[in-house]
A and B are shown apart, each in its own frame.
Chain A
Amino acid sequence: MPILETITILDSADIVRVRQKVRSQTVALGFGLVDQTKIVTAASEIARNTLDYGGGGSVTLEVLESAHRVGLRLTFTDQGAGIANIELALQNGYTTGSGLGLGLGGAKRLMHEFEITSEVGKGTCVTTVRWRQ
């Protein structure tokens, strides 16, 4: 499947860039406005985690296309501290920072597929897909 681009996430301006790139790709793929808003919001949440907890990293945008559906896959990777307990991290209200603990669980609810792999001390990878409705 075509990889569209990889965006590095090293400061808060990069989070805005991620939002803008994800937005323009969903527009190009014909996603509706609510769908666009959901993916962009999820991307913003995960990108901020990549920056704040992962010490920076990157996101790769890919188009998924088959005979009967079209989707956008986002893969965020970092080499940060990792997540010891993924189930706990996904819970609403759980935070080790100063946030609300909504980002990760919220992003999962906003997307159709959501997978986290993480190793403590090595880093985290979040892969997520939303299909065009």
Chain B
Amino acid sequence: MERIPILQMGQFLLVTIQVDMHDRLALALQDDLTDRIVKTSASGVLIDISSLEIVDSFIGRVLGNIATVSQLLGTETVIVGMQPAIAITLVELGLSLSGVRTAANIDAGMRLLQISLGAPFHGGLDANP
């Protein structure tokens, strides 16, 4: 089965969702990420959804689950780049995603993670830790 790639960048994991995910693919991402968090002891997860054209209740629930599970494992998850049209639609749908941290873009998300980890921010993406 098709899988969504998970990249490691230093102490963070980065997932860029570029396809319209069917339900099983979304669930597979949840499993794969949990696995990688445990294996890598990553301290933060960034999920870039800027290419995602819709978030319905199922995908919203999966994103919420990822945030909750990662928190239980001692890892912060930040969802970045949600399109404004999606935010408006989610509110009307009734999905608040209240337990999910969000940021406008990857840089802002990275900064948010650095701050919550209490580490100094060096800026930019460091692919070779």
Q: Give chain B interface residues in 63-101, CB to chain A under 8 Å.
A: 83-86, 88-89, 92-95
Which chain B positions have C-beta within 8 A of A92?
94
**B58 at interface by CB-CB < 8 Å:** yes
Check B86–A37 contact: CB distance below 8 A: yes
Per the 8 Å Cβ criterion, residues 25-66 of A in contact with B are 33-34, 36-38, 40-41, 44-45, 48
With contacts A106-B93, A106-B94 known, is A44 near B56, CB below 8 A? Answer: yes
7 pairs, CB–CB < 8 Å, chain A vs chain B: A34-B89, A44-B56, A45-B56, A45-B57, A102-B57, A109-B92, A110-B93
Given contacts A44-B54, A92-B94, A109-B94, contact A34 B20 (CB under 8 A): no
Decide: A106 near B85, CB < 8 A? Known: A12-B24, A16-B22, A92-B94. no
A106 & B57 in contact (Cβ 8 Å cutoff) = yes
CA–CA, A12 and B58, complex, Å? 11
Q: Decide if the interface of chain A is mainly helix, strand, loop or mixed.
A: helix
Instruction: Kindly state the separation between the CA atoms of A71 and B93 in the bound complex, as whole angstroms.
Output: 20
Q: Is the CB of A41 within 8 A of B89?
A: yes
Q: Does A100 contact B (CB under 8 A)?
A: yes
Q: Chain A contacts of B58 at CB under 8 A?
A: 44, 48, 99
- Give me the interface of B with A, judged by CB distance under 8 Å: 20-24, 53-58, 61, 83-86, 88-89, 92-95
Say whether, besides A37-B85, A44-B54, A102 and B95 are in contact (CB < 8 Å): yes
When C-beta atoms are compared, the residue in chain B nearest to A20 turns out to be B20
**CB < 8 Å neighbour of A41 from B23, B61, B84, B93:** B93
- Tell me whether A102 and B93 are in contact in the complex, defined as CB-CB below 8 angstroms, given that A15-B23, A37-B88, A48-B58 are known contacts: yes
Inter-subunit contact B85/A36 (CB<8 Å): yes
B95–A37 CB distance below 8 A = no
B94 near A37: Cβ-Cβ < 8 Å: no
A103 to B57, CA, bound (A): 7
